[in-house]
Structure 1
C-alpha cells in the first residue's frame, strides 16, 4: 500500500483566481506539482474548514493545479500588461505612472466564493495508516493548535514550512495584529510539528532565536533554498534602448520603495532627460500610501516610474532581462525570490546589504538600505555603463525536493 500524504491545498485553492502569484503562492504550486508527479505515494488534498482539516475534491484540485500553472506561467507572445509597459518605457511622451492593466476575469469575491464552496464539498480525512504524513507550506492550518494536535493524536507526522518571522521581528512593517497572529502560528508549529522547513539559514536563525526567547523546544529544522521556475534559469539579457530598472514584489513598507522613489526624484533632478525608467511590478500591500503619493502626485516621476501587476512568468522574465538591473532595496526579507531570479538569469542586481542577501546573492552590488548616496551612485553608474552580472549557481526545485524528500523520509 502506498503511503498517504495529506497536502494542505487551502492557500493554493484560495489564490487560484489570481492572475499572478506571490512568492508563497509559487511555493504552494511547486509542492502540489511535485507531490502529484510522484507515483510512490497517494496524495490527498486537504484544507481547513471551520478550524478542522478536511479532504477536498481531488478532481477539482487537479484541475485547479493545471489552470493555475497555465495562467501563472503564461505562454502569450506579449500580454496586455507587458504591451502597456513597453509603450510607457519607450514612448516619447510621458503617460500615467500607474498602469495595472488587468488581463482576464477579475478574482471572484468572498475569498473565491469560499474557495469554490470548500473545493466542492469537503469530506472527512482518510483513516490513519502507517507512514501517513501532512505537509503545509502556505502558513495554513497554523491559526489554531487543534489541527496539528489532532494530526499528532492520529499518528500523522507533520511537516510545516515557515517562510519568515518578519511580523514578529519587524512588526512595524506589518498590519496591526499580524505580530500576535504570527507569534501564535510559529509557537504552534514549534510545539506540534514534527519537522520544520525554512527557506534560508537566516530564517532558521530567527526561528531558533524565537524558540529560545519563548523557552520552546525546537523540532528538526532544515534550511532548504527555494527553487526557481524554468523561465528564470537560463542566462541572457535583452538590452533595451531606453534604460530602465525593475523592482518585483508586493508594494509594502518593508520593501523600502518610498526610499527608492525619493532616490529616483533625485536622479531625475541630476540627470534630467537621461534619467532611466523604473518599473514596480507587484500588487499593493500594507502601508503603501507614500508610494502612491509619489506615483500619483510627483511631477518629476510622472510617466518615468511605472507600477503594474499581473504579469505572467514569461512576461516578467522578459521585462527583467531588458533591465539595466533589478533593484531590491528591502529592509528585511526571508528569502527574496526576485533577487535570486535576477542572479540566475544573469541580470545585474543592486540589493540591500541585509543578512539574507549576503547569504543568497552575495555577488550582487549590495548597498546598505539606508545609504541614499550609495544607492544614487550605484544607480547612476549602472545607467551610464551597463554592469555585468557575475556567474551564479541558482537553486533549483529538483535539488530542493531531493532535500525535502530526504528530510521527511520519502525516497529520493
Structure 2
C-alpha cells in the first residue's frame, strides 16, 4: 500500500538561496529526504498560499532538495568563509570583527516577496482524500485554522512539529508581534492537528502547560530528540595552535551574546595577548544591536572576536573540532543543535544551566547564564588547560525517524 504524504515545503523553498541552514532548516531538509526515500511513499510537496495548500512540482522540489544538501553539507573543501576565519584567528588578517556583510534594516515586504514566489512556483492541489497524511515541521501553515481544519474535514491526518514556545514564554527576545502569532499557531495545532512532535521533553512540558492555560486538550504529543548530520557524529578533535572558542547560532537576543562579549572584553583585560579568540558563526537575527555595538566599536575585541556565516557543515565541523570549547550561553532554547553536535564530536562544551541543556547535554560544564564570574573562570581555565569531553551517546536521524514513523502510523 502506498502512503500519500502532503509535505509542507514552504520553509525549504524560502531558504533556497541560503548558504547555511538554521536548526529548523536542518529539520525540514532531514524530513524531506526521509520521506523521499521512505518505501511505498508518494510525497506531494505543498505550500500554503492564502490559507490554501497548493502543490509544488515534485521534480522542482527534488532539485531544490539536492541543491540545498550539496550547498549546506559542502564537499569537504575549505570554503572562502573558512579560509577568512583561519587567517583572522592566526593573526594573518586585521580589520573589523565582522567578516560578513552587515545586516540590512528589516524589510516588511520580504514576507510578501516570498509569498509571491511560492504562488508562482505552485499550482492548484487536487482535493486531498481520506487516508492521506499532512506533515509540517517548519511552523508553516499554522497562522490560521483554515488549512488544518479543512484537512480534518477531508479525513487527512496531520502531524505538526513544534520546535519551541519561546515567542510566548520569552517575547522580549523576539520580534514585536511574534508572541501573538505563535500563540495562534499553537492554538491551531492543538485544536486541529492529529498529533504533535516536539524536539525535547522540555518543549513537551511547555506545550502541555500552554494547553492547560488555554483550556485546550492536546492531541498525542511525542518528544523525539533531533538527529545530527553525519559529519558531526564522528568523535575526535584537532586542537588548533591558536586558542579560540566557538559559538554557533543565529545572532539574536536570546543567545545571550552581549553577555558573552562583555565577558570577552574582561578576559582581554585580564589575559592580554594570551586571550583566546572567539568565533560567532551565524546569521543576524532580531534584537542584535547590542552585539553589533560590541563587534563594531569595542577596541578590545577587534582582531579577537570574529563573526561569520555561510559555513558548510564540513567547514563548521572542522572549526568546532579545533576549538578549546564550544560555548552556548543561551537564556532559553527549545533544543540547541550546536550544543549536541559539540558533545557528539567530543568537543568540550560550556553551556548555560537551563532546562534543555540539563536534559540533552548534562555532561557539559553548565553555568547559570547570569553568573559572569563563573563563566569567566570556566573560559579562562579552558583556554589555559584544555579539557577532555565526556563520553556521549548522540541522537541520530535514524532513531528519530523510527520513532516518528511509529508515532504517525504511515503504511509500511
* More divergent stretch after superposition (169-178 vs 127-136): 127-136
Q: How far 1:67 sits from its partner (Å)? A: 0.5
Q: How far 1:341 sits from its partner (Å)? A: 0.3
Distance 1:175 1:118 in 2: 23
- 1:177-236 per-residue CA deviation (whole Å, 9 max, x = no partner) reads 011000000010000000000000000000000000010011000000000000000011
What is the aligned partner in structure 2 of residue 122 from structure 1? 122
Whether the aligned pair in 1 keeps the contact of 2:254 and 2:331 (CA below 8 Å) is yes
Q: 1:313 to 1:92 in 2, by over 3 A?
A: closer
SS of alignment partner, residue 135 of structure 1: strand
Q: How far 1:388 sits from its partner (Å)? A: 0.4
What is the aligned partner in structure 1 of residue 281 from structure 2? 281
SS of alignment partner, residue 236 of structure 2: coil
SS of alignment partner, residue 123 of structure 2: coil
Whether the aligned pair in 1 keeps the contact of 2:130 and 2:154 (CA below 8 Å) is no
1:67 aligns with 2:76: no
Alignment of 1:7-406 (within 5 A): 7-91=7-91, 94-100=94-100, 114=114, 117-118=117-118, 121-406=121-406
What is the aligned partner in structure 2 of residue 105 from structure 1? none
Q: How far 1:110 sits from its partner (Å)? A: 5.2
Q: How far 1:26 sits from its partner (Å)? A: 0.4
SS of alignment partner, residue 262 of structure 1: helix
What is the aligned partner in structure 2 of residue 409 from structure 1? 409
- 1:140-194 per-residue CA deviation (whole Å, 9 max, x = no partner) reads 0001110100000111000000000000001111111011000000010000000
Distance 2:92 2:124 in 1: 61
- TM norm structure 2: 0.96
Q: 1:214 to 1:46 in 2, by over 3 A?
A: same
Distance 2:297 2:232 in 1: 35
- TM norm structure 1: 0.96
Q: 1:159 to 1:309 in 2, by over 3 A?
A: same
SS of alignment partner, residue 185 of structure 1: helix
Structure 2: any 5+ residue segments left out of the alignment? 103-108
Give the aligned length: 406
SS of alignment partner, residue 124 of structure 2: coil
Q: How far 1:88 sits from its partner (Å)? A: 0.3
Whether the aligned pair in 1 keeps the contact of 2:3 and 2:410 (CA below 8 Å) is no
- 1:324-381 per-residue CA deviation (whole Å, 9 max, x = no partner) reads 0000000000000000000000000000000000000000000000000000000000
Aligned-residue RMSD, C-alpha: 1.6
Q: How far 1:112 sits from its partner (Å)? A: 10
Q: How far 1:77 sits from its partner (Å)? A: 1.4
SS of alignment partner, residue 62 of structure 1: helix
Distance 1:365 1:306 in 2: 23
SS of alignment partner, residue 284 of structure 2: coil
SS of alignment partner, residue 236 of structure 1: coil
Whether the aligned pair in 1 keeps the contact of 2:3 and 2:411 (CA below 8 Å) is no
Distance 2:175 2:94 in 1: 34
Q: How far 1:308 sits from its partner (Å)? A: 0.4
Whether the aligned pair in 2 keeps the contact of 1:101 and 1:309 (CA below 8 Å) is no
* More divergent stretch after superposition (144-153 vs 93-102): 93-102
